[in-house]
Amino acid sequence: MKGIIIGGGKGCLAILKLIQGKQIKELNIEVVAVVDINPNAEGVQYARELGLMIFQDYRKALEIPGVELVIELTGNDDFVKQLKKELSPEIKLIEHSIAHIFWDLMFAYEELDNKIQSLEKLERIIEDDNFFLKSIFDSLQDLTVVMDLDQTITRANRAFCEFVGIEEDKIIGQKCFEVLNIADINCDKKGLQEIIDYICETKKPHMMIHTTPPPNETYWEVTRSPIFDSKGNVRFILSNWHRITELVYLKREVESLEQKLKSFINNAQDWISMKNLNGQYILVNPVIAKAFNLKPEDFIGRTPEEVLPAPIAKTVRMHDAEVLRTGKPRMYNETVTINGEEHHFRMLRFPLTDYSGKIIGTCTIGRDATNEIQLMEKLIQSEKLAALGKLAAGVAHEINNPLTGILSYAESILDELESDSPLQDDIKIIIRETLRCRDIVRNLLDFAKQYTPRLEIVDPNLIIRQALELVHRLPQFKDIEINVFLEERIPKIKADAKQIQQVILNFLINAADAMKYKGKITVSSEYYRQQKKCIISVEDTGPGIPENLMDKIFEPFFSTKSTSGLGLAVSWGIVERHHGTIEVDTAPSGGAIFKIVLPAFFESEVQQN
């Protein structure tokens, strides 16, 4: 049906678009011309684009052959009345009041198109999001499925499908325990339902460790999380199996290494400690803590100043600072007082580093070298005694013969002199000094011989009493008070009684000389049960021994008096051959105290051996 539109405004534009869009193709309207006095009207411009005829006079438009329809859009009622008079009966007229239906319909179709386009766009977005989420879901290396509340799988990622060896479309719709029935990580139907009930009730994830039995032992971290609907109700369950076998093995290896290191550190007799850059302890082994009557945990997080005596803490700080400054290991000789006794340590200090080589603290490994130093001193003393013993033996033999001749001639001359001869005093001096020289030679011979002791099981108290009986007869002990304190149940010792008696006599005579033969001497015996040692002590009230001479008094020929200086050297050798030691210190009275330390003897040890 050919038609023309009179009125080229917005309504014309809407009808042309509607017809052009084929939304009303059932009406079979073909607009061939548009009439409007305004050549720039919106509908006129669009009609011109479509190639339609444009008129300003409607009568000329009506002359177009075959026109059967006129759509009037002017909105002028008078014009409509005039138009009706001029139209032939064959031409239908749609007035502007009715024509509004077309552009309303047009607007409805446009709105519908917009909604359709929005829906199509939304569908594309949803499709892209689904693809994106599916890609993420499939890219997960963990085994992952989505199941509803009755354990039916609704989604499965690629890793899960490959693990069970079933395609996803064949997995969907199956129960979780049915699909996993072929795998060692199978979930128990009843147990899984209890987990689902827990998640629905708490709305929280559930995590557990699943272990497969040997020989193919594996470990899985299984996490099941709720998926909610718009109302906040749990609708689905996301199940994830994360393989942690390698992590468990690595953790075991690390724990094993830590245990080995801990066992090494805790059982080491060397001092081992570590500190951070702030000087705070991060590790201390038990042997250090025990030395200061503390526990290892008492050190952790604290500085040396907070747990150690001030002098030791100062030394530690100074040496640690030097190691941190140089970045290199250093060896130090340090003296540490433990329970009132000085111990000599060789301390190795070195920087601690992290994986990148950055210094993060210091480590100290210390060894108590006190016994080694004392042993070395004893060895040096023994070597001195051995060398000087050989020398003394040679010298004594060479001197002894001339002395015997001098003494014989002097005594012969003295016998021949008259009692009032002025030479008598001179000859007596020669005899006295010769005898003194002979005593020195005898001491040299005694020192040189180093007799091997004849060991017997003897009572140390008996040896002390025998020695005291000898000194009571000596005139130099006339003005000396001797106090005796003997432990009655002291064990016996394995010793040469005469040699030990000689040592005690040397100590008693030296004590008398030191006190200038006036004062008090205390002789005692006691038993150190923990060390299984018997102790014989001789203490005087004399001036004591200067600290700078303590290390020299046992050296041969060293003396602060006009003596040979061999007495203490001989005593040292005797006690050493008895596997004992001599200790010397300042007594509480200010004098000197000498202690003979000998191993106690027990009959049970003989039976065991």
Name the architecture of domain 376-449: Orthogonal Bundle (1.10)
pLDDT average, residue stretch 190-194: 86
- In sequence order, the 6+-apart residues with CB closer than 8 A to the CB of 234 are 149, 199, 200, 203, 226, 227, 228
Q: Is the pLDDT of residue 447 over 60?
A: no
Which pLDDT score, from 0 to 100, does residue 123 have? 85
Mean pLDDT, rounded, of the chain? 85
Q: Which residues contact 421 (CB under 8 A, 6 or more apart)?
A: none
Distance (Å, whole) CA 447 – CA 569: 8
The CATH superfamily assigned to 140-248 is PAS domain (3.30.450.20)
Total Cβ atoms within 10 A of residue 34: 29
Domain 2-110: CATH class, spelled out:
alpha beta
The tens digit of pLDDT for each residue in 542-561 reads 998 887 776 667 766 556 55
Band of the pLDDT at 101, cuts 50, 70, 90?
low
Looking at mean pLDDT, say which of 257-266, 315-324, 380-389 comes out highest: 315-324
Residue 376, pLDDT above cutoff 80? no
| Helices 370-416/567-577 angle, 10° precision | 130
Kindly give the pairing relationship between strand 30-35 and strand 53-55: parallel
Domain topology for 456-608? Heat Shock Protein 90 (3.30.565)
Closest CA to 137 of 161, 112, 116: 161
What was the pLDDT predicted at 608? Answer: 45
Q: In terms of CATH architecture, what is 269-368?
A: 2-Layer Sandwich (3.30)
Whether this prediction's pTM lies above 0.75 is answered by no
Render 241-307 in DSSP notation, one character per residue. EEE-HHHHHHHHHHHHHHHHHHHHHHH-SSEEEEEETTS-EEEE-HHHHHHTT--GGGTBT--HHHH
Residue 451 predicted with pLDDT over 90: no
Contacts of 164 (CB under 8 A, 6+ apart): 171, 179, 180, 182, 183
CA angle 484, 486, 489 (to 5 degrees): 170
Chain segment 231-285, per-residue pLDDT in tens: 899 999 999 999 999 999 999 898 898 888 888 888 888 999 999 999 999 999 9
pLDDT winner (highest mean) among 25-39, 200-214, 421-435 = 200-214
Using 50, 70 and 90 to split pLDDT, how confident is the model at 569?
confident
Asked if the model's pLDDT at residue 327 lies above 60, the reply is yes
Which one has a higher pLDDT value, 325 or 449? 325
Mean pLDDT of the 582-600 span: 91
Provide the pLDDT for residue 445: 60
* pLDDT computed for residue 23 by the predictor: 57
Cis peptide before 304 (omega within 30 of 0): no
- CA dihedral over 21, 24, 29, 31, signed as positive or negative: negative
C-alpha of 319 from chain center: 22
Backbone angles phi, psi at 508, to 5 degrees: -65, -45
pLDDT of residue 392: 62
Domains of the chain, residue spans: 2-110, 140-248, 269-368, 376-449, 456-608
Higher-scoring residue by pLDDT: 499, 444: 499
Q: Has residue 606 got a pLDDT over 50?
A: no
pLDDT tier at 459, thresholds 50, 70, 90: very high
SS3 track for 424-469? HHHHHHHHHHHHHHHHHHHHHHHHHHCCCCCCEEECHHHHHHHHHH
Q: Can 140-248 and 269-368 be said to share one CATH topology?
A: yes
The predicted pLDDT at position 559 comes to: 60
Contact 435, 449 (CB under 8 A): no
pLDDT value at 426 more than 90: no
Distance from C-alpha of 364 to C-alpha of 284, rounded to nearest angstrom: 10
3-state helix, strand, coil in the chain (%, to 5): 50, 25, 25
Of the spans 94-108, 276-290, 358-372, 381-395, which averages the highest pLDDT?
A: 276-290
**pLDDT 10s digits, 48-97:** 999 999 999 989 998 899 999 999 888 888 888 888 888 888 888 888 77
Cα separation, 225 vs 482, whole angstroms: 93
- Label residue 502 by pLDDT band (50, 70, 90): confident
Residue 114, H or E segment: helix 96-139
Segment 143-160 shows an average pLDDT of 92
pLDDT at residue 340 above 80? no
Residues with Cβ within 8 Å of residue 170, at least 6 apart in sequence: none
Model confidence at 607: pLDDT above 50 = no
